[in-house]
Chains A and B, each alone.
Chain A
Amino acid sequence: MEMLEFVVPALNVKAILPQAILSLTALTVLLVGVSSPHNKKTSSLGYLSLVGVVVALISTLMINGARESAYNGMVLMDGFSSFITLIVCIVTLLTILSSINYQRFFPRLNCGEYYCLLLFAAVGMSFMGSAGNLLMIFLALETMSISIYVLAGFKSDEAQSIESAMKYFLLGAFASGFLLFGFALVYGCTGTMDLVKISAFLTAHPEVIHSKMLMGGVALMTVGFGFKVAMFPFHMWTPDVYEGAPTSITGFMATGVKAAAFAALLRVFFVALGHLQADWTGIMWLLAFLTMTIGNVVALSQTNIKRMLAYSSIAHAGYLLVGFVAGSKLGQSGILFYLLSYAFTNLGAFGVIALLGRDGGEYTSLDDFAGLGFKYPLMGLAMAVFMFSMAGIPPASGFMGKFYLFSSAMKAGFIWLAIFGVINSVISLYYYLRVVVVMYFKEVERDVVMPKPSAAVVVGLVIAAIGVLQMGIFPSYFWDMARQSVQAMLM
């Protein structure tokens, strides 16, 4: 056995700057929350964490384009990780803006722990995008997941919220077990956990590529990641968890966790295991088809809007898998573009849902939206824009996102998958437009209490709506950015 040489790695702060800023903000918020318990009435903690996220966002934009690997290849600093960090920062920003309004109905949420966990979850998410090692992916995934288990159960006086946390925890831990065993098998086959070195090993030893052990590892990893992105048949937890969790957190889970898990999925499958692409494409084709179809068909019959959006989020995972099946650079750029578009759209929609509430209660039934379109015209308009975007109607961003994903599938020769995707979009029109119809054309049965929204959530909804329209009408800026990010992915 050779002597192990211990080298202290040079501290490359630049590679982890956004995450470091987010972590420091998280700790500061926690300390401020503990040391000043009297400011429960104000939203100072929310605004403090907002500042941290904005600084992290700016630092991400500033270091965008740098290409280096830091900490012995544990952290890869490239365009891809910058884009994911950008998505995560936007997701966290909109979530905090929505939480500042939401916590007026649920004062329990107004504490340092809430924002601290939110920010640490964001750190985990953005590290999942920049992880260059299976070990790092595991740690980032767990940092994210453990924070979100707690956040899902944050309304600890409500049975639904606790139930949601419990289901998410048990299934999440179960899925981590599968993911880890998959990592172990890949490590056993290749002798390394570094993504780039795994690829290099498989290039040098092509006989390993089709070994049963590596195949088993890939299958187990698919199960583990499948749970996180809510892929069929591992989607069963999604509706329960999304319905029970606090509304501000549901949007965060649907967008942030999906973005992070897809980032890790792309890195592992395309950077490390690119040699096996021909093997997984067939099964992924089937899973993409089933995921979008089942999500859309079950969503048709939902009457609770959070549950409906949970099934819609399963369907969107299916659309994203279409880009994954295409496997080309175009498909990967499409996934990044769609993730950003979905972040704006979904957080906007959940922001509107989180507006409807009063002390200790919230209105999430579809009937509660009756007549809101005329009563609160701007809110109705915003919700209509978000629903159009989810359904994929131009000029909203969802249309461009689907266009890029499906056209990448067409170009890669998966014509039928693209056709099924379009058919699914048509099915989904029914339940997205139903929300709009209810808002504008349904008789009001009972009066919904909607307090005057705070300035923060209005800013959040405006940002989301501008994002949706900007990405839909002038997609080239973000599309070029997504393309360059994928080009700049360290291989």
Chain B
Amino acid sequence: MVAYHNLYLALSVVLFTIGAIGAITRRNAIVVFMCIEIMLGAVNLAFITFGRANQSVDGIFMVMFVMAVAAAEAAVGLAIFILMYRKRGTINVESFNLMKW
């Protein structure tokens, strides 16, 4: 049983790393946001695994809230992307250089 926990945790860490690297290296804002969602998915997996390992429901509650907040975040984020696209015709994060050092 414990061995499986470690597998799930390893998967979670791998997913989190993939998401973090993607969020830094990708250029399309939507892909960046998807990478952030992968990170949140990894977090959820970690919470469920720990909840099961600790025999407590706190972790599962947390997952519910993380999913709800992620949905709210997606709504706001996509609205901002649409505004940006209307204004600039692109959502490439490298083209946002109105303000410089």
The chain A residues found within 8 Å of chain B, CB to CB, are 1, 4, 134-135, 138-139, 142, 146, 149-150, 153, 156, 159-160, 162-167, 169-170, 173-174, 176-178, 180-181, 183-185, 187-188, 191-193, 239-240, 243-244, 298, 307
Contact = CB atoms under 8 A, between A and B. Distances in A.
B32 A170 contact: yes
19 contacts: A1-B55, A134-B62, A138-B66, A146-B69, A146-B72, A159-B98, A162-B84, A163-B99, A164-B99, A170-B23, A170-B93, A174-B20, A174-B39, A181-B16, A181-B42, A187-B59, A188-B50, A192-B56, A307-B99
A153 B40 contact: no
Contact of A184 (B47, B81, B101): B47
Given A135-B58, A149-B80, A163 B96 contact: yes
Given A183-B62, A187-B59, 11 more contacts: A1-B55, A135-B61, A139-B65, A146-B72, A163-B96, A164-B99, A166-B81, A166-B96, A170-B23, A177-B16, A193-B62
A142 B93 CA distance: 23
A153 B87 CA distance: 12
Contact of A142 (B20, B29, B72, B80): B72
B54 to A, nearest CB: 4
Given A162-B87, A188-B50, A244 B98 contact: yes
Contacts of A156: 83
B58 A188 contact: no
Given A167-B96, A169-B80, A177 B47 contact: no
B40 A180 contact: yes
A26 to B, nearest CB: 16
Interface residues of B, number: 44
Contact of A193 (B36, B43, B58, B101): B58
Interface of B: 9, 16, 19-20, 23, 29, 32-33, 36, 39-40, 42-43, 46-47, 49-50, 53-59, 61-62, 65-66, 69, 72-73, 76-77, 80-81, 83-84, 87-88, 93, 96, 98-99, 101
B92 to A, nearest CB: 11
Contacts of B43: 177, 180-181, 184
Secondary structure class of chain A's binding surface, majority of residues:
helix
Contacts of A178: 20
Contact of B46 (A188, A191, A193): A188
Nearest to A187: B50
Contacts of B19: 177
Given A149-B80, A159-B98, A166 B54 contact: no
Given A162-B87, A187-B58, A187-B59, A174 B23 contact: yes
Contacts of B93: 166, 170
Contacts of A176: 40, 73
Contacts of B9: 188
Nearest to B95: A163
A29 to B, nearest CB: 19
B58 A192 contact: yes
A184 B73 CA distance: 20
Nearest to A150: B76
Secondary structure class of chain B's binding surface, majority of residues:
helix
Nearest to A133: B58
A163 to B, nearest CB: 5
A336 B92 CA distance: 40
B66 to A, nearest CB: 7
A153 B80 contact: yes
A170 B54 contact: no
Contacts of B55: 1
Contact of B80 (A139, A166, A184): A166
A244 B58 CA distance: 39
B19 to A, nearest CB: 7
A141 B50 CA distance: 23
A174 B73 CA distance: 11
Contacts of A163: 84, 96, 98-99
Nearest to B38: A177
A191 B56 contact: yes
Contacts of B76: 146, 149-150, 169
Given A1-B55, A159-B87, A187-B59, A142 B36 contact: no
Contacts of B54: 187-188, 191
A155 to B, nearest CB: 10
Contacts of A191: 50, 54, 56
Most buried by A among B61, B81, B93, B96: B96
B37 to A, nearest CB: 9
Contact of A177 (B40, B88, B99): B40
B86 to A, nearest CB: 9
A307 B20 CA distance: 28
Nearest to B35: A174
A174 B35 CA distance: 9
Contacts of A138: 62, 65-66, 69
A181 B39 contact: yes
B72 to A, nearest CB: 6
Given A156-B83, A167-B96, A177-B19, A185 B46 contact: yes
A243 B87 contact: no
Contacts of B46: 181, 184-185, 188
Contacts of A239: 99, 101
